[in-house]
């Protein structure tokens, strides 16, 4: 298979549960031939932070029709966010969130997630086909996902863990208000200021503690690329997830034609609007076998990260690039 066809195939995942006719009424679908789409993707592969945001007149018309969904979805997502956050905050008020929570508290949080997350996926029209299953918490506490696409990834990692308590690693900017900050504390999310070396070091220590300490029963969830891109390759992995030298479970995500939040795209507000106006979103999540590092990889987190990235890229049938988070302004 040529490199071009690899790029085309990874962006064309179709769910067996969705009738083919429905793929023709998606608002942001670009009506271009395979040859033209392949040409675009070959161009994109030169820079993982560029994206194609052009729309033809028919796509614009479909988008206008889809805008009816936006206020409904925003309202329902806001209600779900407020209800879920308040439940988690109230539940954990008596406890120190910097330490492992009691089992009964985590179990109730799992029930909250088990109800709220599927409802959120339904509201945004997210169809997730799951291949494989999460490893047991005793075998592996760390899940590494890729490629990183958009805000919808946060729905995916919660949905595929089927309500199990998780500790996602994310940027501090997502804690946009007091309610979200308190909710992230209650769910023991690990937030990092990516511009601060000290913060990144502190995050690495937290990850190590969560993974190596048997008292912690949450799966640590991380997108080791550290930023979103156009999915034409896997970019450089950060070493935070691999520094502890513990086993990790790689998980790959294949999309139908999802908009990528690449640095070269239009504004995030515009991309969010287009995503919420989309009739539905389709992706496949594949759980790969747990990767147990060798002694050499334990001693060298960069080698460990690169080898896991290579395995994930091979499964996705795409390449890798040494571009990383610091190159997103390209």
Under DSSP, is residue 166 helix (H, G, I), strand (E, B) or coil? strand
| Angstrom distance (rounded) from CA 41 to CA 69 | 29
State yes or no: pLDDT of 319 exceeds 90: no
pLDDT tens across 187-211, in order? 999 988 767 777 778 888 889 999 9
| Angstrom distance (rounded) from CA 32 to CA 41 | 12
pLDDT of residue 15: 60
State yes or no: pLDDT of 235 exceeds 80: yes
Cβ atoms within 10 A of the Cβ of 5, count? 13
Band (pLDDT 50/70/90 cuts) for residue 75 is very high
Residues 152, 157, 162, 163: is their CA dihedral positive or negative? negative
Angle, vertex CA 22, rays to CA 7 and CA 266, nearest 5: 50
Strands 233-234 and 166-171: unpaired
pTM: 0.82
pLDDT of residue 53: 61
Strands 219-222 and 248-255: unpaired
| Number of residues that this document lists for the chain | 330
How is residue 291 annotated by DSSP?
Answer: B
pLDDT tens across 245-297, in order? 999 999 999 987 666 676 555 677 888 888 888 888 888 999 999 999 999 99
Under DSSP, is residue 22 helix (H, G, I), strand (E, B) or coil? helix
pLDDT of residue 264: 56
pLDDT tens across 83-105, in order? 999 999 999 999 999 999 999 99
CB-CB contact of 277 with 27 (8 Å)? yes
State yes or no: pLDDT of 45 exceeds 70: no
pLDDT of residue 77: 96
pLDDT of residue 54: 65
List, in order, residues 6 or more apart from 197 with CB less than 8 Å away: none
Residues 23, 24, 26, 29: is their CA dihedral positive or negative? positive
List, in order, residues 6 or more apart from 79 with CB less than 8 Å away: none
| Angstrom distance (rounded) from CA 299 to CA 172 | 29
List, in order, residues 6 or more apart from 20 with CB less than 8 Å away: 14
> Mean pLDDT in the chain?
81
Band (pLDDT 50/70/90 cuts) for residue 44 is very low
Which of 9-23, 32-46, 291-305 is predicted least confidently? 32-46
Paired tokens of 318:
């795409």
13 vs 31, which has greater pLDDT?
A: 13
74 vs 59, which has greater pLDDT?
A: 74
């Amino acid at each position: 298979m040529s490199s071009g066809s690899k790029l085309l195939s990874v962006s064309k995942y179709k769910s067996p549960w969705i009738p083919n006719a429905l793929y023709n009424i998606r608002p942001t679908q670009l009506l271009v031939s395979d040859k033209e789409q392949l040409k675009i993707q070959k161009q994109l592969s030169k820079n993982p932070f560029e994206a194609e945001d052009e729309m033809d007149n028919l796509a614009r018309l479909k988008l206008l029709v889809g805008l009816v969904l936006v206020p409904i979805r925003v309202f329902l997502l806001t209600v779900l966010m407020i209800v879920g956050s308040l439940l988690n905050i109230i539940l954990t008020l008596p406890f120190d969130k910097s330490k492992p929570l009691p089992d009964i508290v985590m179990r109730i949080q799992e029930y909250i997630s088990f109800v709220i997350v599927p409802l959120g996926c339904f509201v945004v029209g997210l169809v997730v086909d799951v291949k494989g299953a999460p490893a047991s918490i005793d075998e592996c506490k760390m899940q590494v996902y890729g490629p990183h696409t958009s805000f919808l990834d946060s729905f995916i990692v919660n949905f595929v863990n089927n309500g199990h308590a998780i500790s996602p690693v994310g940027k501090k900017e997502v804690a946009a208000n007091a309610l979200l900050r308190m909710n992230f504390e209650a769910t023991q999310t690990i937030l990092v200021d990516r511009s601060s070396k000290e913060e990144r070091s502190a995050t690495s220590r937290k990850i190590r503690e969560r993974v190596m300490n048997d008292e912690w029963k949450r799966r640590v969830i991380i997108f080791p690329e550290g930023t979103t891109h156009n999915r034409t390759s896997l970019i450089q992995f950060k070493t935070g997830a691999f520094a502890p030298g513990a086993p990790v479970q790689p998980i790959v995500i294949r999309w139908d034609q999802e908009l990528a939040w690449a640095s070269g795209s239009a504004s995030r507000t515009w991309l969010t609007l287009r995503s919420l106006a989309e009739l539905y979103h389709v992706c496949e999540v594949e759980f790969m076998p747990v990767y147990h590092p060798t002694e050499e990889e334990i001693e060298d987190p960069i080698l460990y990260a690169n080898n896991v990235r290579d395995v994930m890229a091979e499964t996705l049938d795409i390449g890798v690039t040494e571009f990383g988070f610091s190159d997103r302004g390209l």
